Amino acid sequence: MISKALKKQFDEYLPLLSDKQQALILELVKSFLNIDTDNNRISRKKYHMEIDEDVDRVEDGGFVTQEETKKELSKLKPMSISHLHEMIDQAKQDHDAGRVISHEELKKKVKTWR
């Protein structure tokens, strides 16, 4: 009985939302149900290849220890609001001047660094 009442309310409110809001609600429901809509699964062979690459990277010293991380974190200081605004202004200028790339492009470039 309660589920019919909830469904009725949902059916009444859903059309009042924009398409974007409805899509967000759908994603929320999917996340509650743990539905993975991304088919970004990789093959077992690729998975093992990536693990091997990571092991090689660690063996070559391509990692940061927990102690090193703690030491670096201890050096961090709060940012002033004026510095934040300066950084935002600089980011806007960089974007407008075309000095910004997507994270996908950056990942492709990083892969060529080895």
pLDDT along the chain (114 residues), means of 10: 81 88 86 70 88 90 90 92 95 93 88 82
> With 0-12 CB in 10 A as exposed, 13-18 as middle and 19+ as buried, what is 25?
middle
The HSE-up count of residue 97 (CA atoms within 13 Å, CB side) is 7
Q: Is residue 24 part of a domain?
A: yes
**39 and 13 part of one domain:** yes
Find the domain containing 92 and state its range: 78-114
Provide the domain count of the chain.
Answer: 2
**17 and 52 part of one domain:** yes
**45 and 93 part of one domain:** no
Q: What is the pLDDT of residue 38?
A: 60
**86 and 46 part of one domain:** no
Please, are residues 54 and 62 in contact by the beta-carbon 8 Å criterion?
no
Contacts of 94 (CB under 8 A, 6+ apart): 100
